[in-house]
Chain A
Amino acid sequence: MIRAVAILAGKDFALLWRDRPALFWTFVFPVLVAVVIGAMFGGAPAPALVPVQVLDQGDAGRARMLDELPGIQAVRAENEQAGEAAVRAGRAAALVVLRPGGAVELRGDLARRGEVELLRALVAGMGAAKPAITAIAGGADRPRTPFERSVAAGMAWALIGAAASFALSLAREAQAGLFVRLRAAPIARLDVLLGKAAACWLACLGELLLLALLGAALGAMRPGEMLAPAMAIAAAASCFAGLMLLTSQLGDGEMKVAASAWGLMLVLALFGGAILPPAMLPEWMQSIGQASPVRWAMQALEAALGSGQGWRDVARPSAMLAATGAIAFALGWALFLRRAR
């Protein structure tokens, strides 16, 4: 079985190499999204002042000192939750909690380590002991660099492009009667679909790795432990390989499959935040977007590659992606068998 799947996947790569539209959507367009969109929104200079949330719990003197520190833009936080939320949303680099009795807590976004370290040094200069930094898990919702968001969007488009292109290729083969010919060979029916899914999975994997390298070159990638990126990438690729198979069965012939595959993918991309960032979407779209695999993929990939979060942090979206991929594959397989009958 593995041999047959490898042979079929090899054939699909040879076909992909000669399919210019598929190459564009799978490999070129995602890179354009990552670079062009990032460059478009990345021209603004870095903020001259480090935005900080300050929660004064009884040390008004230090709070005023913070306000007056050079290079700091201090904003009062209503409470700890609101202050941390502002950090997660990217509106502040850190939250400084001034406890009664002079204790100072510093909770920062480690992805903005430079700003947080500057703040730490300034706080120590106020006469307090140099505070330890408590990491606030970076919100996947907010970009830390312009390229971070655009590279994540590029990754989403790589998955979408690969899934739609391979769905079309599968429909093309079915329309040309090639499945009949393949079934005459001494291989199982499932091998035919697994071969296509494996090729799609590998194409997703290759493009995600390429974009991760590009992201690293653009300073947008800060992977931590290797397990998290491996999990996120494998799960995202699995999800879209499954969706590829499902969408390939949602119509008779190439044109209908093209319409259903791209239609579904564009809807998932729109609600998932690959076209416009989630923060720019109305609340109802953001709510629906929570159910989009594109959103889960961007969350998992951004968290694993952009924020350097651990495997526990990406486990949930990765599991959802893998489960969606498995369900989509099973549905696609059932539809394929029904058509074959």
Chain B
Amino acid sequence: MIQVRSLHKSFGAQVALDNLSFDVDAGESFGLLGPVGAGKTTALHLLAGLLAPDSGEITIDDAPDPTRPATRRHIGIATQALTLYEDLTAEQNARFFGRLYGISGAKLDQHASWALEFVGLGERRGELVRSFSGGMARRLNLACALVHNPPVLLLDEPMAGIDAQSRALLLENFRHLKAHGRTIIYASHEFGDAEALCDRVALLAEGRIIALDTVEDLVAGYGGPAQVTVEFASPPVDMPADMPGDVEGATWRFFSEDPLAYLSQLSAEGMAFASVRVDAPGLHSVFQSLTGRGQGG
């Protein structure tokens, strides 16, 4: 569905993307993840045809070069900034963007209604966007990207600045779109939602892909051990010397790929646990392991 080959983009002396290549299959959810400044938005803008690459090629749905208007018809984009007309209603916004993609008449009515209902704004279609909360506006931003029913959806930080309820609603929307065969490229510096949504992810750092695989394989390959936090019923007095990690008061923290073995041993020695928390490795740990630093850069 999407082929990206050897993309290079610089802004003056600043290299934003260096030799970016990947394929995305039809119906796949693909994550472009990395810290702020890694090149995600530049990559998305190249895919959307908002920028032209210095070199390299992009093909979307068999159509070349997204800077061509005909290719852009295949793409829906929900930008990181809320690109909505605040003094128009939700419906006016959806209809306006639909018209720009060549939809009109009954089809436009149908598509606009569907998109607004889909994001849960059907009953508020007549309200001015100015009165919307951040989460509602974010959902409308998605509706406007979907109104022309594009096969490819580009999402740039789609969860930015929204509450937990809107986040859950949007995640549900994305899962629904994915289930119905929509190809999604999801760019974010927050890895948690991408882990839940994306089939494969590309981790970006300083304009280059440092890892590309399924979430499971990346975590298995680079995620490292789980972090375990154990609260004892009382501070342990005779902690075995071969136990990993540090004990501080009644709290024991350690990293292990097999924490159950240690916990079983202590339990057999009669130690009582008040609580045990296991933080399994995720994409954050993968990124940390590959770059030696966190998402913050």
Residues of chain A touching chain B, judged by Cβ–Cβ distance below 8 Å, are 4, 7, 11, 14-15, 18-19, 176-178, 180-188
| CA gap between A183 and B67 in the complex, in Å | 9
| CA gap between A187 and B67 in the complex, in Å | 10
Answer whether residue B49 sits at the interface, using C-beta atoms and an 8 A cutoff: yes
Given A180-B50, A188-B69, the answer on whether A15 and B88 have CB atoms closer than 8 Å is yes
Given the complex, which residues of A lie within 8 Å of B288, measured CB to CB?
Answer: none
Given the complex, which residues of B lie within 8 Å of A18, measured CB to CB?
Answer: 87-88, 128
Contact A14 B88 (CB under 8 A): yes
Answer whether residue B209 sits at the interface, using C-beta atoms and an 8 A cutoff: no
What 1/0 mask marks residues of chain B from 70 to 91 whose CB sits below 8 Å from any chain A CB? 1011010101010111111000
Given the complex, which residues of B lie within 8 Å of A19, measured CB to CB?
Answer: 87
Given the complex, which residues of B lie within 8 Å of A176, measured CB to CB?
Answer: 81, 83, 86
Contact A177 B88 (CB under 8 A): no
Answer whether residue B101 sits at the interface, using C-beta atoms and an 8 A cutoff: yes
Given A4-B100, A15-B87, A15-B88, the answer on whether A184 and B50 have CB atoms closer than 8 Å is yes
Specify which of B75, B99, B101 lies most central, judged by the most chain A CB atoms within 10 Å of its CB.
Answer: B99
Residues of chain B touching chain A, judged by Cβ–Cβ distance below 8 Å, are 45, 48-50, 69-70, 72-73, 75, 77, 79, 81, 83-88, 92, 96-97, 99-102, 128
| CA gap between A7 and B96 in the complex, in Å | 7
Contact B96 A181 (CB under 8 A): no
Contact A186 B72 (CB under 8 A): yes
Q: Secondary structure of the A side of the interface?
A: helix
| CA gap between A186 and B50 in the complex, in Å | 11
Contact A184 B87 (CB under 8 A): no
Contact B88 A184 (CB under 8 A): no
Given the complex, which residues of B lie within 8 Å of A181, measured CB to CB?
Answer: 77, 79, 83
Nearest chain A CB to B93 CB, angstrom units:
9
| CA gap between A187 and B100 in the complex, in Å | 7
Contact of A184 among B70, B75, B84, B85 (CB under 8 A): B75
Contact B77 A184 (CB under 8 A): yes
Nearest chain A CB to B228 CB, angstrom units:
44
Nearest chain B CB to A183 CB, angstrom units:
5
Contact B87 A182 (CB under 8 A): no
Nearest chain B CB to A132 CB, angstrom units:
60
Contact A186 B70 (CB under 8 A): yes
Contact A185 B79 (CB under 8 A): no
Contact B83 A178 (CB under 8 A): yes
Interface contacts beyond A7-B96, A14-B88, A18-B87: sample of 6 additional A-B pairs, CB < 8 Å, sorted by A = A178-B84, A181-B79, A185-B72, A185-B97, A186-B69, A186-B102
| CA gap between A308 and B107 in the complex, in Å | 50
> Can you list 23 A-B contacts with CB-CB less than 8 angstroms, sorted by A residue number?
A7-B99, A11-B92, A14-B92, A15-B85, A15-B87, A15-B88, A18-B128, A19-B87, A176-B81, A176-B83, A180-B45, A180-B81, A180-B83, A181-B77, A181-B79, A183-B50, A184-B49, A184-B75, A184-B79, A185-B72, A185-B100, A186-B70, A186-B100
Given the complex, which residues of A lie within 8 Å of B70, measured CB to CB?
Answer: 186
Given the complex, which residues of A lie within 8 Å of B83, measured CB to CB?
Answer: 176-178, 180-181
| CA gap between A19 and B50 in the complex, in Å | 29
The closest CB in chain B to the CB of A186 belongs to B69
Given the complex, which residues of B lie within 8 Å of A188, measured CB to CB?
Answer: 69
Given the complex, which residues of A lie within 8 Å of B99, measured CB to CB?
Answer: 7
Contact A11 B88 (CB under 8 A): yes
Contact B50 A185 (CB under 8 A): no
| CA gap between A162 and B14 in the complex, in Å | 41
| CA gap between A144 and B86 in the complex, in Å | 47
| CA gap between A185 and B103 in the complex, in Å | 12
Which 8 A-B pairs rank lowest in CB-CB distance, beginning with the nearest? A181-B83, A186-B69, A177-B81, A185-B100, A18-B87, A186-B72, A7-B99, A184-B77
